[in-house]
Every structure is written in C-alpha cells, then in structure tokens.
C-alpha cells in the first residue's frame, strides 16, 4: 500500500517549460500521483487567475499562490496575507517619481498605475498568459492586494528594499520584481496546508527552480530542484533532477521514490 504524501510544484520552469508548455510526461506523472492517492498541489508566484487553465487541465484544487499570500485548500480559501496599503501607497508614489510603473494584484485581477510601459509589456508577455493589466491607478484603494509588481531594471530595486521594510522584493524578470509582505513565502503558505491536512515532514515534497523557491526547498524535507534551476536553488535542495524539458518532473518523482 502506498503511503499518502503531498507534493507541491512550482509552475514556471518546473511544471511548464521556458515556452510555457506542459510536457506530456509531466501531465502523465501528475495523474499517476493522484491515482495512487497522493495530494498534488501548486506553489507559485502567479496570481490565481494566471493559472486557471493549468489547474483545470491537471484537476488541481489546492494551491499556494502569490508566493504564499493567497492559499486555497480543495477549492476553499485557507489563508490570506495582504500587503500593507499605507506603505504600498508610499512606494507607488516613489516609483512614479523614478518612472518605475507598478501593477496592483488581488485574487481576481491586476491593474497598472500607468496606461502603457514597455517594462510591463515585456515582463507580462513572457508569461504567455491570457490576462494583461488594464489601467487603474487607484486599484489599491478599498481592497486586499496580495502582490504588486514593481517594474525596474536589475539592481534598481535596492532603493526600495532599503526604504520599505513592510515588503520583500523578489526578482522574477530582468524588468520586474514581485513585491510581497515581509516574511511571506511559499514555505509559509505550504505550512498552512500541511498543518491542516496533518502530513508529517517525511511525506512532504516540493519541486522548484526559481529564487522564490529557495525558502520552500530549504524548508521541505524532500525537496527537488530542477536541472534548469539556478545554482543557489540547487544548493538548498535535497535532490536535483533533470531540466523540465528533459522530463525532469518524472525523473525527480522517480528519484524520490514516489513513482
């Protein structure tokens, strides 16, 4: 009899290739895990509306989104950790002076504080998603936001890191940085789920490749870095599998003995 485990998968560079395609071997492996009674979940920096199609394709209803700020267990919201709006308002004013646009994000939509900017276009288009932010500079008012995107070249986020202690800044694109609540992470979101489900650490697994996966992979006992991950990510993982394009998910699941 197979002992039930819970497995968390990052999306970009882990489940999906650089071209945002889901390898057939990955899809097949996910369904085999589910058939054997395991719980399969997603842990991503993306907003919930950015991976609806993937959740439907893989029949996954448990996920950690916004790098841990919006957590759903079996279709029901389990935990939220919104941004501090007063600090966000100040950051946005500062960013405007620096000609660094921002995009406000809640669980349903995203809105830009400027009508148009090539940093936004390049970054969002790289995700190859259907959604694109429309213009609403006051979208932050009167609602919970779980993440904001700050658009600036690499290195220019340092000034914000020094001045806005309520936030953590995680770069995901040469032109874009995730702004999340300080101390928030995929690891904290995952902890909410595994505590609710009662899984011991021996039966928790996580796969990832990006800098925003470091805390997750260093916290989960059975952690797997993709072959295409950065060295800093590989260093904290217990296992390193092949790249996503080389059937890395299937290979990794075989490595850890789940398949």
Strand-by-strand arrangement of the 134-135 sheet:
134-135, 110-112, 102-105, 147-151, 176-181, 167-173
CA-to-CA separations, 181 to 42, 65, 79, 87, in angstroms, rounded? 20, 13, 14, 10
237, 241, 239, 211: which is closest to 228 by C-alpha? 241
* CA distance linking residue 162 with residue 166, whole number of Å: 10
* CA distance linking residue 168 with residue 146, whole number of Å: 12
Q: Is 166 a catalytic residue?
A: no
List 10, 106, 168, 213, catalytic entry = 10
CA-to-CA separations, 232 to 69, 155, 208, in angstroms, rounded? 23, 18, 12
Catalytic residues: 10
């Amino acid at each position: 009899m197979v002992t039930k485990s819970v497995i968390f998968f990052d999306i970009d560079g882990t489940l999906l290739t650089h071209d945002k395609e889901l390898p057939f071997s990955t899809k097949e492996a996910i369904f085999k895990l589910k058939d054997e009674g395991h719980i399969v979940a997603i842990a991503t920096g993306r907003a919930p509306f950015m991976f609806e199609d993937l959740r439907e394709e893989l029949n996954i209803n448990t996920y950690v989104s916004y790098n841990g700020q919006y957590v759903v267990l079996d279709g029901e919201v389990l935990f939220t950790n919104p941004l501090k709006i007063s600090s966000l308002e100040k950051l946005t004013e500062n960013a405007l002076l620096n000609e660094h646009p921002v995009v406000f994000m809640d669980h349903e939509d995203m809105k830009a504080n400027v009508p148009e900017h090539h940093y936004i276009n390049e970054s969002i288009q790289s995700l190859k998603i259907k959604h694109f932010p429309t213009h609403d500079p006051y979208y932050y008012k009167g609602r919970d936001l779980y993440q904001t995107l700050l658009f600036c070249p690499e290195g220019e986020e340092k000034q914000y890191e020094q001045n806005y202690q309520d936030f953590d800044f995680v770069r995901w694109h040469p032109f874009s940085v995730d702004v999340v609540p300080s101390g928030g992470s995929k690891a904290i979101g995952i902890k909410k789920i595994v505590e609710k489900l009662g899984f011991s650490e021996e039966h928790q697994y996580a796969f990832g490749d990006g800098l925003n996966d470091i805390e997750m992979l260093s916290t989960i006992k059975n952690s797997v870095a993709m072959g295409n991950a950065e060295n800093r990510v590989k260093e904290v993982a217990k296992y390193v599998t092949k790249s996503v394009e080389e059937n890395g998910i299937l290979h990794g699941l075989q490595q850890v003995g789940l398949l």
